[in-house]
Structure 1
Amino acid sequence: MITLEDLRLFGADIDKGLAVCMGNEELYLRLVNTVPSEERFEELSDAIEAENLDAAFEAAHALKGVLGNLSLTPLVEKVSEITELLRSRKDADYKKLVDELLRARDDLSELCK
């Protein structure tokens, strides 16, 4: 089971994350534990693979909200970059960026075991 110290070492801003959960550590940790199985990661990956930038933007934007509320900084930074690139339709290696995001998600998943 993940701890606040694990999250701190991961790079999360646990003070902000806890504030969103009104200081309820149990709720915060329970919500963090749901992140690795969040379906929008796969929706984003699939949309990028299909070159559907509209669907990719929707998935990335939704992830940004979830991850931002929990202040999971390493994930927020990556998904924010993807979201803004998609918003402006800039040329980018989206697959590489999504792979980096998924690796960070997998790192969090390991901590949640």
Structure 2
Amino acid sequence: MLTVEKLEEYGADTESGLSRCADNEALYLRLVGIIVQELSSDALGEALEAGDFDKAYYIAHKLKGGVNNLALTPIAEPLCELTELLRNKTPGDYKTLYVKITCKTNELSIMIDPKLIKK
């Protein structure tokens, strides 16, 4: 079961995330579950694999907003970097950043529901 304490151990800035949810712990944890489901979809990976960088940017930017609002720092850092590369159409190692995002999402998924793990 996901708890604020587990999120703190994971590296999330729960104080900041909770403050954005009016210190409503149940709401915060529910929103973390929702963003993890969105991150666990393969939309971003598929767009990157297809070379559709405009679509990948749109998806990454949307996810970045949710992840940053919930202060999920371990995912936010590589996701922000990927979003900026895509925004500026900068050549870069998109795959490595995507793998980091996926690994950190999987770590969080295990805390919520092991069935969410992306292979």
Matching residue of 2:15: 15
1:40–1:62 Cα contact (<8 Å) kept: no
* Pairwise CA distance, 1:80: 0.1
Task: State the shift of 1:35 in Å.
Answer: 2.3
76-85 vs 88-97, greater mean Cα deviation: 88-97
Runs of at least 5 residues in structure 2 that lack an aligned partner in the other structure: 114-119
Report if the CA contact (8 A) 1:13-1:72 is conserved.
yes
Structure 1: which 5+ runs fail to align?
none
Distance 1:3 1:39, change over 3 A: closer
Let me know the Cα RMSD of the aligned residues.
Answer: 1.3
Q: Which runs of 4+ in 1 moved over 3 A?
A: none
TM-score by length of 1: 0.94
3-state SS, counterpart of residue 38 of structure 1: helix
- Give the alignment's TM-score, normalised by structure 2: 0.90
Kept in 1, the 8 Å contact 2:35–2:63? The answer is no
CA contact (8 A) 1:44 1:56 kept: yes
Q: Percent identity between the aligned chains?
A: 42
Q: Quick one: distance in 1 between partners of 2:39 and 2:71?
A: 19
Could you tell me how far 1:66 is from its partner in structure 2? Answer: 0.6
Distance 1:17 1:25 in 2: 10
Asked whether the 8 Å contact 1:60–1:79 carries over to 2, the reply is: yes
Task: Determine the structure 2 residue equivalent to 1:101.
Answer: 101
